[in-house]
Structure 1
Amino acid sequence: MAQWCATLPAGSRVAWVGGAPPVAVEHVPLSRADSLLGRDLDALVFDAADGLSADALGAASGALRGGGVLLLILPAAKSHPDSLFLHRFRQQLHRAAVPFPGPDAAVSSWPVPRGWLPQGATGDPCLTEDQRDAVQAVRDLAEGRAAPVLVITADRGRGKTAALGIAAAQLMTVSRSGGEGIHIGVTAPRLSALGPLFEQAKGLLPPAAVHEPGRLCLGASVLQYFPPDGVPDPVPDLMLVDEAAGIPAQWLDQWLAACLMARRPIAFTGTIHGYEGGGRGFAVRFRRTLARRVPDTRHLHLKTPVRWAVDDPLEALMARGLLLDAEAAEDASMTDARPGTCERKAFSREQLAGDEALLGDIFGLLSLAHYRTRPSDLQRMLDDPALKVVGLMHRGRAAAVALLADEGELGAGLCRSVWAGERRPQGHFLPVSLMLYGDMPPSGGMLRYRRVVRIAVHPAAQGRGLGTALVQALVEEAREAGIDLIGAGFGGTAPLLRFWTGQGFCPVRVGVKPEVSSGGWAVTVLQALTTEGQGGLDPVRAGFGRTLPMLLSDPLRGMAPDLAAGLFQGLTLAPLSGEDRRVIAAFARGRRVYEACLPALHAGVIRGLAASTESLAEDHRDALVMRVIQQRPWETVARHLGVSGRKPVITVLRRAVAGLPDDG
């Protein structure tokens, strides 16, 4: 390897990903492979001798420019004989006629980088017509010549991030010459991903521009980064959301709502076939939101690469090898998909690895339904013997799919160590999290668990009971197999929680910080299938009922009120005292002030929500949760209800309390 690196042309940009390089080149650990995103490398050595990281390879390979060389050091086949992922990847390499130089091959026969770069017109920073169209679309958006929302999608390497930087620089320059500044906000999953955007803008602005991390100024004009989880006030004149497929949908909704309310234009970009996954889910699901809220949204798709040639062999190889381009079944094939027309099938790892069409169908559906479906998920599907894949197949195509993992049956000593916080064994999410953060006793770790890791229903077949049918089948199969507890974890939303509780599951834990992947609070649900399982569930459920009100008044204060209300449903609580009932009735009739009734109101609202929320109007439910349970400021509750001041909120609260269901 050192000899080959020494033969590279002078000035070659080379990076070594993986173990320590034997030569003086840039070294990037596997864990930081995504730091190469946006770079232009001439040569990349990817050292996978100790094991292939699918995510790292997917990220690093995108840094090679056209004409560059990827030198891939694979582990010996005999060192990983059970890795179906590695076996399949080797097959893809052979099918693509990738050379495998033997240990005796002369280094002079190894490929070296050759020069290739697309050329734009003289004086034009855009390298393709597609990129030029994207820049003009952003300018039209900012200058009010188009709909207030723009969506730009592309496969990676099409120059969409650079296009945002070019457009920003042009807008800042025009605003400066006109004497007025423009405030351009930009966000992305992380600031480091915006390096190409800021570098492109900086290179096009005059020397007077001031550049600091996450901020570029030219006179009164500013290009500024904002974290994706916080909308600034005031909203910038123009908002650019780069790599939106990597940002939780709830945060995207917040940016969209804020810009629409402030009458500010906003552009979203998304990578469709990227190593981080989620692009297809973004394109389908967020497009539905836009179609409902902004029907005249402009959509632009960039096809022509700027960093390599059309039909680049490395791009095609990575797409096949890591299934970056996996597609779910066509919508038309799911027109009449229903539980009665589908066949439930369980697939072994060997079946999936040996059937490219089936594997692509299932992985494509998972990618379509879930943000952040990565190559590592494919690797786990093929290599993890504890993971099971079950699908509802409609005429041979996946209409719904679930990934399952068996957990628990931990030894008594290990359970005590987990409960004490001394050990956290991998692959046992449900028992470990419930012993550490819930009220599961140490003996609970010895029970048998089955976790629904992922579940997805084809978008064209949703709303027909396929998800319900699949979960019900999974529950019955787990019961027949002697599983004690079946559960799942997901980024909490009220509709998702209603789905799971509708199948007999109950919430037993909620994370105190929003998930980075979904933007929502992680909710864990559980269902007991045996007497022993019920014995483990009861203390967990009781503990959840005790802690939930306290969590909602502090770390979960910002949780959406519909989700917060749903978490209470089904809790078993002691009935209200007679005195509390009298105080609540007096408040509802307007005879007592709010502060004097707080303890009784708090107890009454919790029990009312636990009984049912179906009889409550939405504004009544939200007022009770936000003010009485979460203790949000009066002005925040008033703004949410669309009223002004404390007095009308009190009026809503009195009516809401009067409509609470009787706790028995």
Structure 2
Amino acid sequence: MTPAELVAALHAEAERANERRLLTLAGARDRGLDAARDALGALDDPDATLLTTREGVGTHPNDADRLLGTTRDAVVLDCHDGFSANVLGRVVGAVDGGGLLVLVTPPLDAWPGSDYADERFAVPPATAADVTGHFRRRLVDTLRAHPGVAVVDVDAGTVERDGLTDPRPARSHAPPSVPSGAAFPPEAYDACLTADQADALSALERLRDGAAVVVEADRGRGKSAAAGLAAGSLAAAGRDVLVTAPAYRNAAEVFERAAALLGTLGKLAGRDDHTVTATGGGRVRFLTPVEAGGLPDDPDAVVVDEAAALPVRRLTAFLDAPAVAFVTTVHGYEGTGRGFDVRFRDRLAAGSHEVVDARLDDPIRYAPGDPVEVWAFHALLLDARPAATQLVADATAADATYRALDAESLTADEHLLREAFGLLALAHYRTEPDDLARLLDAPNLDCRALTVDGHVAAVALLAREGGLAESRRIDMYEGARVRGNMLPDVLTSQLRDLEAGRPVGYRVLRVAAHHAIRSTGFGSRLLDGCHAEFDAAVDWFGVGYGATPRLVRFWARNGYRTVHCSTTRNAASGEYSAIMLRPASDAGAALRDRHGRRFRARMRDGLSDALDDLDPDVARAVLRASDDAPSPSLTDHEWRVVAAAAFGPGLYDAAPGAFRDLAMAHLCDPDGRLDGRAERLLVRKPLQADDWKTVADDLGYVSTRQCMRALGEAYRPLVERYGTDAAEAERRRYEENG
């Protein structure tokens, strides 16, 4: 069979089965691109897209996002230069049933070699020569093994494998129908393409009754379209529907379907700038997750598209809406439904909404069992998941085995790789195919695990950072970005420490325990193993993450101390990030100590400026985790003012700076303890400088007068613990006068 005959056979087979086929054109780049053009020419006027880094030819791979939510008869991806697993994950879903995905690759035996290394993974001081080829070698193995994948050697002009599967002709989807007693318009159900989609739309009708509806599906099942039909139906009835997603592009299909339905119903009043307006006052509008979290303008319902790509804290905010739909991908490159289930289902069940579930299984654009989808799931581990619960549920941390998971071990054992990567995916709300490539190929990463009977019970991913040459540190200090050195970058460029990039450290990117054994010591035991193994080789361990009180306490228990709190919120999570360090050498201790001091000095005034909306419990946690034993420096006069406010008729306004300094001293003191409300009061009033009424209302005091008295009482143990002779004399004055 010639390559031209193969293309014709693949296309005919794909059309007959309503499936897709993958054509790999391996060899010299120019020959591969010419062969791709010939392959497209053999098709009947295809709607095709070429993605390549070549100037003036096709579309740049960086613009692959534009294919999301669209379909093509063929997509050609040039893998020779700038190949990205993320781009591959995005373009696969753009090929329609009967179409071809064409990969133009280097010779398959050479592709894993250093000449084609992904330079993005060459984190300084490493170079591209240090990047391994394990991910590309594994990818090549899947191309040579999976049904529906053809391989052509364009240099030799021969077919290595034809990829033909001799499938049965395509079966028709079960036709959708309008349910009896449907509340949404019949036109909405007429717009559904499968019975699955109509069932999901029927479940979404419960938004009218204040339910929380969860719609789960793999990509290409029409879940966003169903959400759009529901949003349009609600808008047609005069309701205000707020839609949010990690980015507008994720929810574009929701708006397309909502606008189309309103047009069919004759109720489309207008569409502009991420808003669809219906006659009668209803509308469908988009806001980012951070903007939407406060539920502005009191929407009647919220639709969260790609919900698994958002963190739990952000998802939880939407439970305050009158009705909410969480539309989520089960296996996807931005977030997984499995992670959504493990991390968020308990919060959802504990809420006040009745929970309604719907799942779409039938693909819309191609037949079930499509071999290209099966290949993509395997090659990119989109369906990776942790070990089965029963395999680790009764394990204890003391009985687990600490072991290294190097790339050779992971690629040699598919089950081990799937369990480890599945657990890493659950540890973060957004996991991409590039994370798999980075795990297998990046020279600065180390993966460690606790295993139980050979199954992964906990996993940690560490990134080596620092050890930078003086010239690179100077560049960083002057504003240059240095790839893969997040902690040295922040400490150098933002916090102005020219020496921060000299010590070598390990940043803990992720640490996760199986959900069946969480909070049983596995995470701490795994970190202990990492510290014991690497302490002699590095100066510090560090971590940066979206700060919550629980996470701060976890890291503090494991010896990490706060050195920074970001002054802007993460756009997706809405959280402020904390950076914490654990020293492993004198150089590491010096780094932690100087940045710890600077952190405490910044926070004294920063909490009333950029961090004036930081959650008081987060503020308490990050300050206490700075682990300082302070000696507040107040003048005798300031001590008398504070003592008088605590024990007598003194006023806070007479010396607010003194109250602020003493609040900082207490909150940073590892032995300082007041009850939670008293410490929140120390944050909200002296440190964040909120007005008395706001503080009283937010903390549950019946009046501003009671709030003022409570602040004075909160300072009594502080005066007794830290006060000088002047403070003691003032205290006795009021106690003796009774």
**Would the TM-score normalized by the shorter structure come out above 0.5?**
yes
1:502 matches 2:562: no
Closer/same/farther in 2, CA of residues 296 and 171 from structure 1, 3 Å limit:
closer
Q: What amino acid is aligned across from residue 247 of structure 1 in structure 2? A: L
For residue 377 of structure 1, report the CA deviation from its aligned partner. Answer: 0.7
Closer/same/farther in 2, CA of residues 306 and 635 from structure 1, 3 Å limit:
farther
* Greater radius of gyration (CA): 2
Report the identity percentage.
33
Q: Could you list the per-position Cα deviations for residues 30-82 of structure 1 after superposition, in whole angstroms to 9, with x for gaps in the alignment?
A: 22222221112221111111142011111121122222210111233425414
1:249 matches 2:341: no
Tell me what 1:225 maps to: 286
Q: What amino acid is aligned across from residue 268 of structure 1 in structure 2? A: F
CA distance in 2, matches of 1:298, 1:653: 46
Unaligned runs of 5+ in 2: 1-35, 114-131, 178-186, 724-738
CA distance in 1, matches of 2:479, 2:473: 10
CA distance in 2, matches of 1:558, 1:265: 27
For residue 655 of structure 1, report the CA deviation from its aligned partner. Answer: 3.0
2:359 counterpart SS class: strand
The aligned runs of 1:593-608 (5 Å cut-off) are 593-608=651-666
Correspondence for 1:50 among 81, 95, 118: 81
The answer to whether the Cα contact below 8 Å between 1:371 and 1:518 also exists between their aligned partners in 2 is no
CA distance in 2, matches of 1:532, 1:171: 61
Tell me what 1:131 maps to: 197
Shifted more, 275-284 versus 448-457: the winner is 275-284
1:446 counterpart SS class: coil
CA distance in 2, matches of 1:329, 1:465: 18
Closer/same/farther in 2, CA of residues 645 and 56 from structure 1, 3 Å limit:
farther
Correspondence for 1:566 among 591, 616, 621: 621
CA distance in 1, matches of 2:429, 2:485: 23
For residue 438 of structure 1, report the CA deviation from its aligned partner. Answer: 2.8
For residue 385 of structure 1, report the CA deviation from its aligned partner. Answer: 1.9
Aligned residues: 640
CA distance in 2, matches of 1:439, 1:477: 31
Closer/same/farther in 2, CA of residues 18 and 572 from structure 1, 3 Å limit:
farther
For residue 414 of structure 1, report the CA deviation from its aligned partner. Answer: 2.8
CA distance in 1, matches of 2:408, 2:84: 20
Closer/same/farther in 2, CA of residues 466 and 115 from structure 1, 3 Å limit:
closer
Correspondence for 1:410 among 468, 478, 483: 468
The answer to whether the Cα contact below 8 Å between 1:50 and 1:75 also exists between their aligned partners in 2 is no
CA distance in 2, matches of 1:329, 1:429: 31
Q: Could you list the per-position Cα deviations for residues 504-524 of structure 1 after superposition, in whole angstroms to 9, with x for gaps in the alignment?
A: 110111222122354321211
Tell me what 1:85 maps to: 135
Tell me what 2:678 maps to: 620
1:452 counterpart SS class: strand
2:357 counterpart SS class: strand
Correspondence for 2:247 among 190, 209, 222: 190
Q: What amino acid is aligned across from residue 192 of structure 1 in structure 2? A: R
The aligned runs of 1:142-161 (5 Å cut-off) are 142=208, 144=209, 148-161=211-224
Tell me what 1:178 maps to: none
Tell me what 1:356 maps to: 414
Tell me what 2:732 maps to: none
Correspondence for 2:144 among 64, 75, 94: 94
Tell me what 2:17 maps to: none
Q: What amino acid is aligned across from residue 153 of structure 1 in structure 2? A: E
Correspondence for 2:337 among 279, 300, 314: 279
For residue 286 of structure 1, report the CA deviation from its aligned partner. Answer: 0.7
1:477 counterpart SS class: helix
Closer/same/farther in 2, CA of residues 168 and 445 from structure 1, 3 Å limit:
closer
The aligned runs of 1:297-316 (5 Å cut-off) are 297-316=355-374
CA distance in 2, matches of 1:21, 1:317: 30
CA distance in 1, matches of 2:111, 2:163: 25
1:343 matches 2:401: yes
Q: What amino acid is aligned across from residue 2 of structure 1 in structure 2? A: R
1:467 matches 2:519: no
2:151 counterpart SS class: coil
Correspondence for 2:688 among 625, 630, 645: 630
1:60 matches 2:91: yes
For residue 574 of structure 1, report the CA deviation from its aligned partner. Answer: 3.5
Moved over 4 A (4+): 104-107, 114-123
The answer to whether the Cα contact below 8 Å between 1:493 and 1:563 also exists between their aligned partners in 2 is yes
The answer to whether the Cα contact below 8 Å between 2:105 and 2:111 also exists between their aligned partners in 1 is no
Correspondence for 2:450 among 374, 392, 405: 392
CA distance in 2, matches of 1:60, 1:638: 54
Shifted more, 285-294 versus 463-472: the winner is 285-294
For residue 270 of structure 1, report the CA deviation from its aligned partner. Answer: 1.0
- TM-score calculated relative to the size of structure 1: 0.91
The answer to whether the Cα contact below 8 Å between 1:249 and 1:519 also exists between their aligned partners in 2 is no
Tell me what 1:203 maps to: 260
Tell me what 1:524 maps to: 579
Q: What amino acid is aligned across from residue 541 of structure 2 in structure 1? A: I
1:3 matches 2:10: no
The answer to whether the Cα contact below 8 Å between 2:151 and 2:163 also exists between their aligned partners in 1 is no
1:575 matches 2:606: no
CA distance in 1, matches of 2:633, 2:261: 69
CA distance in 2, matches of 1:279, 1:186: 19
For residue 105 of structure 1, report the CA deviation from its aligned partner. Answer: 4.6
Unaligned runs of 5+ in 1: 176-180
Shifted more, 510-519 versus 644-653: the winner is 644-653
